[in-house]
Amino acid sequence: MPLSKFVFVTGGVASSLGKGIISASLGKLLQSRGLRVTIQKLDPYINIDPGTLNPYEHGECFVTEDGAETDLDLGHYERFLNVPTSQANNVTTGRVYQTVIERERKGDYLGKTVQVIPHITDEIKRRIKLLGETGNYDIVITEIGGTVGDIESLPYVEAVRQLKYELGANNSIVIHLTLIPYLKASGELKTKPTQNSVKMLLESGVQPDILACRTEYPLNDDIKRKIALFCNVTPESVIEALDAETIYDVPMLMKKEQLDKVVLKKLNIENYPETDLTKWEEFLYKLKNPISRTKIGLIGKYVELKDAYKSIAEAIIHAGVANQCKAEVAWIHSEDIEEMTEEEMEQTLGGLNGILVAPGFGSRGIEGKIKTIKFAREHHIPFLGICLGMQCAVIEFARHVLGWKDAHSTEFNPSSAYPVIDFMEGQSAEIKKGGTMRLGAYTCKIMEGSKAMQVYQQPIISERHRHRYEFNNDFLPDFEQHGMIATGINPEKSLVEIIEIPEHPWFVGVQFHPEYKSTVANPHPLFVGFIKAALTVKKERTKNDVKTKEDEA
């Protein structure tokens, strides 16, 4: 019998209504009452994990401490709750089937016909209960990906139906997130799609306990009563989920609607303390009342889909707040830079206070990234390179400072005479793509007196990784003699984790992904330092009369 109580979150009517943010907001409210909460995402696709997915499909792949490649919603959970997630927090249909099929091959089913019900649903239920059985959580929130009615979601809804029954009254509830569209022509909010969506859930045997209704306009009592009547819930269980200015407003909106109180009542949890969201409110206040501004260029190849860089964009927001400033992001496509003249480069990049070159895979846009980094280095613009961004900084330095014209990463040119970025030990071109990179948390030792030490303020750190290539240590002496130094090293394998150019006002490249660890409660020191540099170096640049287009305007 699992120890935790369960909150299942399903979605209806349309996708992209923000189940992840609603789940994270509810989690935050319950956590702020002293309850121990974790959130889990079930994804109905057949990929084993999103690691092999193009970011254009589902946005960024979020990496956990234990090296799981997961859905980007886990990033929201961590940013809101400030508690790490793990492999157990993300389950896909692929993983469920893989386990069942492996068991079948071993003969574990003793000659039985292996079927969706009960074998697949049993495996889904087992994975849902895993976190609840650890004893670490009072409440497990389980978000079910997709939309009710999708063929792929059916086994999950069936598992929820069975679990609700097995767990018994007051031990689990279902929150169904729907949409109340607004018809401009008649000036009306329409409830029919919600009624239909609930009907569909009922056909699968699941009665939702709470309806969270996404809407552009406030829901009046009449509409709430109508929804309640048609969907067999009490009016207090109809929660208005109004469009928000920022995702960080949603916990406050849910508090106003008393979502957490209704949940606790239905789960029969009593004697809980009041919510304490003081820190969260302070963050929101600073977010909405910045005292300065700065402009950061984010150079990547998936910039059309902002979700592809979700954690980076959020880390910039957190770091902006920590510096009491609004850090605006200029999204710049690395391929666009490739064709630009000097003058166009100046126009696009010259007005930026900081340049961040994003992680990535494959050769598209690489030369644009390298060109951007040259600009940042030569114009003394604060620079942060993440993973591929750091690797490109190394290639740029090799080509333009060390004069090795042919320098490259073997990911893009396997026959380069100067393979300054190369395969790591244990990696090769033949290796299977899924789940085989250097993944998850590794330690790094930081050099005294470096920018990295300035921001982290401690000699040993741990950061998450997701890469196959690394700095080629054969060339390190050449780099260090000419002004690019390794200021962070993995102690076990001597891998270069951080590079810096001490001559530059703020030039840092990291092989790891700091963005995954930035949360509202703990903005990441590296991003905080980068934004601080963007704010201060801007002043120095103006002082030294390095004019930008913006200065001239």
Could you give the CA distance from residue 305 to residue 303 in angstroms, rounded to a whole number? 5
Shortest reach from residue 467's CB to ligand GLN, in Å? 3
Q: Which is nearer to ligand GLN, 140 or 388 (CB)?
A: 388
| Residue-by-residue DSSP string for 305-323 | SGGGGHHHHHHHHHHHHHT
Q: Which is nearer to ligand GLN, 400 or 468 (CB)?
A: 468
Q: Who contacts 503 (Cβ-Cβ below 8 Å, separation ≥6)?
A: 483
Q: Which stretch binds ligand GLN (CB under 6 A): 157-165, 230-238, 329-337, 385-393?
A: 385-393
Nearest to 286 by CA among 313, 315, 323, 254: 323
CB 260 within 8 A of CB 504: no
Amino acid in position 63: V
Q: Which of 248, 309, 469, 479 binds ligand GLN (CB under 6 A)?
A: 469
Q: Is residue 58 part of the contact set for ligand GLN (CB under 6 A)?
A: no
Could you give the CA distance from residue 160 to residue 121 in angstroms, rounded to a whole number? 9
Q: Is residue 387 part of the contact set for ligand GLN (CB under 6 A)?
A: yes
Show the binding pattern over residues 319-358: x = contacts ligand GLN (CB under 6 A), - = does not: ----------------------------------------
Shortest reach from residue 66's CB to ligand GLN, in Å? 17
**Active-site position among 76, 408, 465, 513:** 513
Q: Which is nearer to ligand GLN, 283 or 302 (CB)?
A: 302
Q: Is residue 411 part of the contact set for ligand GLN (CB under 6 A)?
A: yes
Cite the beta strand spans of 156-196 per DSSP E: 172-180, 182-183, 188-189
Q: Which is nearer to ligand GLN, 251 or 360 (CB)?
A: 360
3-class DSSP state for residue 304?
coil
Q: Which of 359, 382, 509, 523 binds ligand GLN (CB under 6 A)?
A: 359
Q: Which of 225, 286, 445, 468 binds ligand GLN (CB under 6 A)?
A: 468
Q: Which stretch binds ligand GLN (CB under 6 A): 11-19, 22-30, 169-177, 463-471?
A: 463-471
Q: Which is nearer to ligand GLN, 16 or 428 (CB)?
A: 428
Active site residue 304: no
Q: Is residue 230 part of the contact set for ligand GLN (CB under 6 A)?
A: no
Q: Which is nearer to ligand GLN, 214 or 466 (CB)?
A: 466
Q: Which of 249, 361, 443, 546 binds ligand GLN (CB under 6 A)?
A: 361
3-class DSSP state for residue 19?
helix
Shortest reach from residue 307's CB to ligand GLN, in Å? 16
Amino acid in position 196: N
| Residue-by-residue DSSP string for 205-242 | T---SEEEEEESSPPPHHHHHHHHHHHTS-GGGEEEEE
Q: Is residue 497 part of the contact set for ligand GLN (CB under 6 A)?
A: no
Could you give the CA distance from residue 21 to residue 241 in angstroms, rounded to a whole number? 11
CA dihedral 377, 383, 389, 393 (to 10 degrees): 20
Active site residue 387: yes
Pairing of strands 438-446, 485-489: antiparallel
Q: Is residue 467 part of the contact set for ligand GLN (CB under 6 A)?
A: yes
Active site residue 61: no
**Active-site position among 411, 470, 497, 515:** 515
CB 318 within 8 A of CB 520: yes
**Active-site position among 387, 396, 411, 504:** 387
- Rounded to 5 degrees, φ, ψ at 549 are -55, -40
Q: Which is nearer to ligand GLN, 468 or 482 (CB)?
A: 468
By CB atoms closer than 10 A (0-12, 13-18, 19+), residue 526 is buried
By CB atoms closer than 10 A (0-12, 13-18, 19+), residue 466 is buried
Residues carrying an active site annotation:
387, 513, 515
**Residues of the shown chain interacting with ligand GLN in the complex, contacts defined by CB under 6 A:** 359-361, 387-388, 391, 411, 466-469
